[in-house]
Structure 1
């Protein structure tokens, strides 16, 4: 039996499309709710290569909607990309899966997406989405945008010189509801990811001409659907018209509140020696894992990563997190 027989019987893909798909590479930025569903669907479809990028570890609150993870991943605080690769390898061992346990930034984005035939958005914040937008427009890579909050999903495909870009559309603003304020239900996630995957399959089987230049918004709870035609590029758009890519010129984000987590992420351009930090922070009940160091400071759960990130859990006050960094970590940073 041919594993992909039923997919090949679908005429728009067929045997030829399936063969093309198995030569292609997709980058998925963010391996949370949307990213898990995207990776799962593309792996089962038989894509040749998946590149997964995520900065986070699995937590119990993820399990309600992030389908690649299990309870033990949460208990062990396994990085999402590591847990995802393990599940995906079990689903389809023929897919080449490359993982990057790091934050996507303006500094590393071009290197991370350089092999991509398509980039799929599984993120939860507009800072990162503008990085994806700018790097895709600069390198002429199709960008499949997706967003979900509550029971509402939004999907659009941005193509260089064929549609406006996300920055052009939104003017660089940080818009939209968040799962932090509105929660999220799994059906909205799965349907949003399914629409994204369909658009990606068109691109990955060399059928980009079938992409409709519209933004789709739907609500699975009220069964509302709306399509909005993407406008032409604005004459003053720095990306579409002027070939200036603001998000790729930024340094690391200094402090970001993570969606729905009551956690502040601090990012630096330095590296941590976790073994040394374990010794230095012995009074703060350190727990060292292969991926991070956990300590408790002033009643807050703090996770330190080798690549210079710190998660301060239990607050959404960026000032508190920054002051903690200055007091406890600034002098312990290793270049």
Structure 2
């Protein structure tokens, strides 16, 4: 064991045996924004064996306030977040096997990535994706750690399939606020607090010390000096469609999947087409409308009062509107 992890090894609940386990484990990180970058950096510094990052977005200027792995150059280059994060993470610890996927996380494309995954970390920004992760976690029997933050508040909860109440159970008894970073903003310390809870729980799972896991849902408000641990053990229901006696995993059904969505705090709509874009053909077509910027992962164009980003996997981000109808209209004007 190298000097790199010596201080972590001296922490008795981890020790040399725990460090060896960490170095053999595989984590799937879904989302690489504020929570994703904070978790990724901590886990890569801790020496996790393999980290798979899934993220659909690219680096924007407003990300730099709280998304700790990104630089101004990443923003100017419009790099996908997963790629920019990997570039920085490999500089931090070149021994970690890091795989990246620039794509939307869906019930279709996530299952192939779950082979040999020991833990899923939620760093997403909406409950549609979280409910899909919840179903996949239970179907494939993989623990996952929820996390979310907005303003100066945050929450985190660790879900162990077959043991903990799942997200579907929790939503039936616990009202989650509807505020978004668009309406109330967010401060960086709230991000770091949630990530600290998530990473600590992750280390417990990686070293197989499940007796130390927090069994309560934690919430906090840093600005108003509030911290609460909520016992939700009684929320688990035998009739739950995800973790009950006869699970149906409802969000994995095609009719339950979101094909368009308004992105948190972005004045942006994402549209996911049923096909992948032929980027060269699309570029030639769009150049008739105005200058097109490209990199190996996406192309973008300013059109009317909107900025549209096309990803190879068939997604488009229409910046400048929160209207799904308007976004679809712009999308079809450009791609037919």
The interval holding the TM-score normalised by the smaller chain is: over 0.9
Partner of 2:123: 122
Partner of 1:58: 59
In the alignment, structure 2 segments of 5+ residues that lack a partner are none
After superposition, residues 307-318 of structure 1 pair within 5 angstroms as: 307-318=313-324
Counterpart contact for 1:32–1:122, Cα < 8 Å: yes
Specify the SS of the correspondent of 1:303. strand
Does residue 239 (structure 1) correspond to residue 242 (structure 2)? The answer is yes
Counterpart contact for 2:308–2:317, Cα < 8 Å: yes
Alignment root-mean-square deviation, CA: 1.6
Counterpart contact for 1:34–1:193, Cα < 8 Å: yes
Per-residue CA deviation, residues 277-317 of structure 1 (Å, 9 max, x unaligned), is 11112222222221111122222111111111000001111
Of the candidates 189, 192, 203, which is equivalent to residue 190 of structure 1? 192
- Report the count of equivalent residues: 330
Does residue 256 (structure 1) correspond to residue 261 (structure 2)? The answer is yes
- Measured in 2, the distance between the counterparts of 1:120 and 1:143 equals 6
Report deviation, 1:269.
2.1
Does residue 296 (structure 1) correspond to residue 302 (structure 2)? The answer is yes
Per-residue CA deviation, residues 152-187 of structure 1 (Å, 9 max, x unaligned), is 110100111111100121049994332122211001
Partner of 2:110: 109
- Measured in 1, the distance between the counterparts of 2:237 and 2:21 equals 35
Partner of 2:276: 271
Report deviation, 1:102.
0.4
Counterpart contact for 1:155–1:216, Cα < 8 Å: yes
Counterpart contact for 2:201–2:214, Cα < 8 Å: no
In the alignment, structure 1 segments of 5+ residues that lack a partner are none
Partner of 2:43: 42
Of the candidates 220, 229, 232, which is equivalent to residue 230 of structure 1? 232
Give the TM-score normalised by the residue count of structure 2.
Answer: 0.95
- Measured in 1, the distance between the counterparts of 2:173 and 2:225 equals 30
Specify the SS of the correspondent of 1:264. strand
After superposition, residues 6-45 of structure 1 pair within 5 angstroms as: 6-45=7-46
Shifted more, 127-136 versus 319-328: the winner is: 319-328
Report deviation, 1:211.
1.2
